[in-house]
Structure 1
Amino acid sequence: MSSKRRRKKARVPGLIITIILLLLVAEFVGLLAVTKLLPIYLLFAVGIVFMTCVLLVAMLTGNFRKKVRFIIGAILGVLLLVILLLGNLYVMSTYNTLNKISGVNTQTSQIGVYVLKDDSAQSIEDAKSYTFGTLSNLDTENTQAAVKQIEERTGQSVKTQEENGVTKLVDSLLDGSCDAIILNHAYLPVLEDMEGYADIEDKIRELDLLSVDVEIKTDDTASSDDTAKQTDPDNIIRLYISGIDTRGSAIINTRSDVNIIATINTDTKQALLVSTPRDYFVPLSISNGVPDKLTHAGIYGIDVSMDTLGMLYDISLDDYFRVNFAGFIKIIDALGGVDVNSEEAFTAYTDSRYSYTKGINHLGGEAALAYARERYAFSDGDRARGRHQMEVISAVIQKVLSPDILSRYTDVLAGIDGCFETNFSYDRLAELVRQQLTDGGSWNIVSYSVNGSGDTRQPYSMSANAYVMIPDQTTVDKAKELMQQVVDGEVVNLNE
């Protein structure tokens, strides 16, 4: 064999390694470009760094017969190969997850068909000749959609009778006035809070659960004072953060136990979290001025919650993040827990497994959820719960922004998937990531809770009196003032 042929043969292994690495680099940089998560200058920097590394590997592995250089080059090539494969995996996982949770423009309500516990019917088809009780004054659109689904399944018209109020509807089933009832599943916990109905699930049986999907609509005229509303500049984000009252994996319309408005100035890196208690007694955007507990707005849809809060604070609120309790636990566990600073020591009233010391507590998902939900251990009840919710959210934000996120990245993505959603578009999320990478720096996160006084009133969604919190307008006005300070680029001062 000639020396020329031997030299060519000696270059083959290095050439193969180089071609493989070049293809992986092209794929990696291409994926980064598609995700739009990196600013252009960083994208070029990543490309240059990897191309330089590939060039170095090519030089070292250029001659198979130079054993030491080739081995060093091969080792570097393998390391680069692993980095690129993991990089591609991380980028694809990020892109797929963000696409799944973002740009959500539909919402799901679960409408139950209920019969008495000992009823012989085992399916909707078995009950097709029944008289179905429905609500005449609440949740009518979802009820009508459920009736239509029943008619499609049974192939015949449904006989219905209307009742005015949730308790009257349930009573019509219990006393035999109708054979079955059609009721939003989210009303069951509301019903259980009413005197005489705590054991209702022991008396009735769910025959079927129907899903009704509708478009999320935002109301740009939600404010009661149109002169008070202004179009926010591009650097201002007003975001509704909702924690829904369900442990299942689905994101559905149900009571919202966490109701926080985040006002964010991306230029000054200030974020104000305003918590509104779940029992705040305010008119819903759909109730024609009749007050209800704020938590009940979530039964009728995320848009109703946003519009109701928009009316309360005289703002336009169109963007949201929504997480269910199962997702809350998964995300915090994926982060390796969070550090929360408790103002005092206490044991969770609803779950005595969890006790907290005064000062820093490192909390896993279940413990953090118990901390965020606790109200009975405190004299100020819902106000304490609101503070705790914002403390946990702040702790999660700080953990996500820390370098520790890199080692738990894929676990966090898996925790988000399926338990978390937002109507933010993917492009908007990517823009925020690029801005943070470009500007860097830490964020100043400030929390504030509006207040009120306890009372007993009949809410719009209930057929009996219940505990509510009458808003303290002074604290509502203070929240409006703080929001405007963030918008104006001022430093938020809670002591003024």
Structure 2
Amino acid sequence: MKEQNKVLRGIGIVLSILLVVASFYLLYQLIKINVLPTKLLFLITIIFVLLDAIFTLLLCYYTRAVVSKIICVVITLVLIFGSCMGGYYISKTGSLLTNITNVTKHAKNTVSVVVKQSSDIKNKSQLNGLSVGTLRTIGTQGSSKALKELSKDGVVMNQSEYDSLSAMLEAFYNGEVDSIIINELSRSQILDMESYADFDNNTRVVYQTSYKVENTDKANAVSDITSKPFNVLISGSDTRGGFDENGRSDVIMVATVNPKTSTILLTSVPRDFYVTTACDAADGCMQGALDKITHTGIHGTNTTKRTVEQLLGIEINYTFKVGFDAVTELVDAVGGVDVTVVPGYAVNHFACMYNLSVHEGVNHLNGEQALAFARERYAYTEGDRQRTKNQQLVLMGIVDKITSPSIVQNYSSIMDAMSNTFSTTMSSSEISDLIKYQINNNPKWKIEQYMVDGTGDTLMCAELGDAASVMVPDQSTVKMAKDKINAVLAGKSADDVK
């Protein structure tokens, strides 16, 4: 019996040590993430200290009966496991905050020397002495870098400059030049032009290089994010190379947040909105030129931000960049999202994913389907307007899943997916303050929505140097958007603005 008691007491001592270590691990992660109000953190600390003390005494001194000892051991194991898992989940949350607020200092641009698929040119050495088309004012830094690197390798090309992307492509297909240099960011623009929709299939890359440009997107922080209203630009990029690469802004929303009135206004701008560009980057951005707003993202989030500020006459405090292709991972991580299709908007086949269909009512979509649903415009008579509404539905579906209790089941994978999906100029301390505010005050947020509108047309776009399908702004809706944003900033409801 004495031998058995020694064994049980030894187990009790080991478990007590593990319990204290697990508790301190959890408390350390709670302190490190800094999202709990001081009073609540103090209360949790006292509770864990008391639990550790009680179960240490019970395990080592006061429980002598075998059954009582076993019960204490089981409860202690549960506490150890719970503390370790809790600390691990909090650690993953902390990593998420670090990742999404760690905005890259430079953006990567990749440039390619492209030849026709039918060309005999197989490698860069065969480019020597041949002609190459480049753009005169757009992406000149990339063209110069490619030609300079080729020259170092003994490959000298005869350069012909063109004023627009469409003019360069026309010369290339007509045989005026043997090759062209394109920024890979412009590939999607090329494919959007009807004449060059098959560009990927009838061309190939024989040389590629990259260069970096400074990311000038900075926060214009408010003094107290829990009491002062602020604007956030949500930019959904179509880039496939991660957050260190710029791409077209396929989703453009301004979230106006007023913590005092617990109001959030989402103002959407369709990607084809025809606007005057307010440039941030000097390398080829067409300052003051008319273009669709989606093209501003190619020159960085800050160019999109400045253009939206100019369009709506507002000040944007923070940016929130969403890698929309990475949304597929997040949607799959949360187990899919539910979107409600209103009567009259059922679709049998989507252009971007033919085997996808949606019916009236609630539809459950996986990651690939959610991305296709958010990108589709050809299946709707409203085109870009409906696509913008669908994007809002997908984002709200993600929010619903992330804020539901079921998040615990796949918490780790969800945190990893979110780390690869979002990037913001809001600091981790500001995000922590917002979480504390939510825990302390538990406000019931009212979410309002608005979308600027216009009429469809085909007009010259500066980035393309060619006419493309655009949405000409209805200035009355632009003014309405500005008035609604200012109303929320002033502590009123956007719904009161008529």
TM-score, normalized by the shorter chain, greater than 0.5: yes
| Partner-residue secondary structure (3-state), 1:37 | coil
| Structure 1 CA distance for aligned equivalents of residues 435 and 197 of structure 2 | 47
| Structure 2 CA distance for aligned equivalents of residues 50 and 314 of structure 1 | 52
Q: Structure 2 vs 1, CA of residues 312 and 19 (structure 1 numbering), >3 Å: closer, same or farther?
A: same
| Partner-residue secondary structure (3-state), 2:350 | coil
What is the RMSD of the two structures over their aligned residues, measured on CA atoms?
3.0
Q: CA deviation at 1:135?
A: 1.0
Within 5 Å, give how 1:55-204 maps onto structure 2. Answer: 55-63=53-61, 65-104=64-103, 105-124=105-124, 127=127, 130-147=130-147, 150=150, 154=153, 160-204=159-203
Q: Structure 2 vs 1, CA of residues 407 and 175 (structure 1 numbering), >3 Å: closer, same or farther?
A: same
Structure 2, unpaired ranges of 5+: 280-285
Counterpart residue type for residue 241 of structure 1: I
Q: Structure 2 vs 1, CA of residues 426 and 82 (structure 1 numbering), >3 Å: closer, same or farther?
A: same
CA offsets 1:105-137 (integer angstroms, 9 cap, x no match): 432333222123244554446646655432112
Which position in structure 2 is the counterpart of 1:329?
Answer: 328
Whether the aligned pair in 2 keeps the contact of 1:333 and 1:365 (CA below 8 Å) is: yes
| Structure 2 CA distance for aligned equivalents of residues 427 and 149 of structure 1 | 43
Whether the aligned pair in 1 keeps the contact of 2:218 and 2:425 (CA below 8 Å) is: no
Q: CA deviation at 1:54?
A: 1.5
Whether the aligned pair in 2 keeps the contact of 1:240 and 1:320 (CA below 8 Å) is: yes
Q: Structure 2 vs 1, CA of residues 460 and 440 (structure 1 numbering), >3 Å: closer, same or farther?
A: same
| Structure 1 CA distance for aligned equivalents of residues 92 and 222 of structure 2 | 35
Q: How many correspondences in the alignment?
A: 485
| Partner-residue secondary structure (3-state), 2:60 | coil
| Structure 2 CA distance for aligned equivalents of residues 132 and 332 of structure 1 | 43
Counterpart residue type for residue 384 of structure 2: D
Choose the corresponding residue for 1:280, options 273, 279, 285: 273
Which position in structure 2 is the counterpart of 1:40?
Answer: 38
| Partner-residue secondary structure (3-state), 1:292 | strand
Does 1:374 pair with 2:385?
A: no
Whether the aligned pair in 1 keeps the contact of 2:325 and 2:371 (CA below 8 Å) is: no
Which position in structure 1 is the counterpart of 2:440?
Answer: 438
Within 5 Å, give how 1:226-305 maps onto structure 2. Answer: 234=225, 235-246=228-239, 252-286=245-279, 287-305=286-304
| Partner-residue secondary structure (3-state), 2:457 | strand
Q: CA deviation at 1:439?
A: 1.9
Q: Structure 2 vs 1, CA of residues 150 and 339 (structure 1 numbering), >3 Å: closer, same or farther?
A: same
Q: Structure 2 vs 1, CA of residues 128 and 239 (structure 1 numbering), >3 Å: closer, same or farther?
A: farther
Structure 1, unpaired ranges of 5+: 222-229
Q: Which range moves more in the overlay, 7-16 or 34-43? A: 7-16
Which position in structure 2 is the counterpart of 1:451?
Answer: 453
Q: Which range moves more in the overlay, 77-86 or 163-172? A: 163-172
Which position in structure 1 is the counterpart of 2:29?
Answer: 31
Q: CA deviation at 1:313?
A: 0.7
Whether the aligned pair in 1 keeps the contact of 2:339 and 2:393 (CA below 8 Å) is: yes
CA offsets 1:347-386 (integer angstroms, 9 cap, x no match): 1431342332333333322232232223223322211111
CA offsets 1:197-251 (integer angstroms, 9 cap, x no match): 2222233212244333222224999xxxxxxxx9787432311112222456666
| Partner-residue secondary structure (3-state), 1:407 | helix
Whether the aligned pair in 1 keeps the contact of 2:338 and 2:362 (CA below 8 Å) is: yes
Whether the aligned pair in 2 keeps the contact of 1:249 and 1:326 (CA below 8 Å) is: no
Whether the aligned pair in 1 keeps the contact of 2:264 and 2:448 (CA below 8 Å) is: yes
Whether the aligned pair in 1 keeps the contact of 2:274 and 2:293 (CA below 8 Å) is: yes
| Structure 2 CA distance for aligned equivalents of residues 190 and 34 of structure 1 | 45
Q: Which range moves more in the overlay, 403-412 or 281-290? A: 403-412
Q: Which range moves more in the overlay, 339-348 or 454-463? A: 339-348
Q: Structure 2 vs 1, CA of residues 7 and 482 (structure 1 numbering), >3 Å: closer, same or farther?
A: same
Q: Structure 2 vs 1, CA of residues 377 and 196 (structure 1 numbering), >3 Å: closer, same or farther?
A: closer
Counterpart residue type for residue 168 of structure 1: A
| Structure 2 CA distance for aligned equivalents of residues 440 and 155 of structure 1 | 67
Which position in structure 1 is the counterpart of 2:406?
Answer: 404
Q: CA deviation at 1:462?
A: 1.4
Which position in structure 1 is the counterpart of 2:350?
Answer: 349
Whether the aligned pair in 1 keeps the contact of 2:219 and 2:319 (CA below 8 Å) is: no
Which position in structure 2 is the counterpart of 1:212?
Answer: 211
Q: Which range moves more in the overlay, 325-334 or 62-71? A: 62-71
| Partner-residue secondary structure (3-state), 1:61 | helix
Q: Structure 2 vs 1, CA of residues 327 and 6 (structure 1 numbering), >3 Å: closer, same or farther?
A: closer
Which position in structure 2 is the counterpart of 1:17?
Answer: 15
| Partner-residue secondary structure (3-state), 1:264 | strand
Which position in structure 2 is the counterpart of 1:413?
Answer: 415
Which position in structure 1 is the counterpart of 2:312?
Answer: 313
Q: Structure 2 vs 1, CA of residues 396 and 353 (structure 1 numbering), >3 Å: closer, same or farther?
A: same
Which position in structure 1 is the counterpart of 2:283?
Answer: none
Q: Structure 2 vs 1, CA of residues 151 and 232 (structure 1 numbering), >3 Å: closer, same or farther?
A: farther
Whether the aligned pair in 2 keeps the contact of 1:146 and 1:212 (CA below 8 Å) is: no
Q: Structure 2 vs 1, CA of residues 329 and 442 (structure 1 numbering), >3 Å: closer, same or farther?
A: farther
Whether the aligned pair in 2 keeps the contact of 1:137 and 1:164 (CA below 8 Å) is: yes
Q: Structure 2 vs 1, CA of residues 7 and 414 (structure 1 numbering), >3 Å: closer, same or farther?
A: closer
| Partner-residue secondary structure (3-state), 2:75 | helix
| Structure 2 CA distance for aligned equivalents of residues 35 and 126 of structure 1 | 56
Counterpart residue type for residue 274 of structure 2: F
| Structure 1 CA distance for aligned equivalents of residues 431 and 147 of structure 2 | 38
State the TM-score, normalizing by the size of structure 1. Answer: 0.88
| Structure 1 CA distance for aligned equivalents of residues 260 and 484 of structure 2 | 17
Same amino acid, percent of matched pairs? 30
Q: CA deviation at 1:288?
A: 3.0
Choose the corresponding residue for 1:425, options 424, 427, 431: 427
Moved over 6 A (4+): 5-10, 155-158, 230-233
| Structure 1 CA distance for aligned equivalents of residues 58 and 16 of structure 2 | 10
| Structure 1 CA distance for aligned equivalents of residues 222 and 11 of structure 2 | 62
Q: Structure 2 vs 1, CA of residues 123 and 413 (structure 1 numbering), >3 Å: closer, same or farther?
A: farther
| Structure 1 CA distance for aligned equivalents of residues 20 and 150 of structure 2 | 58
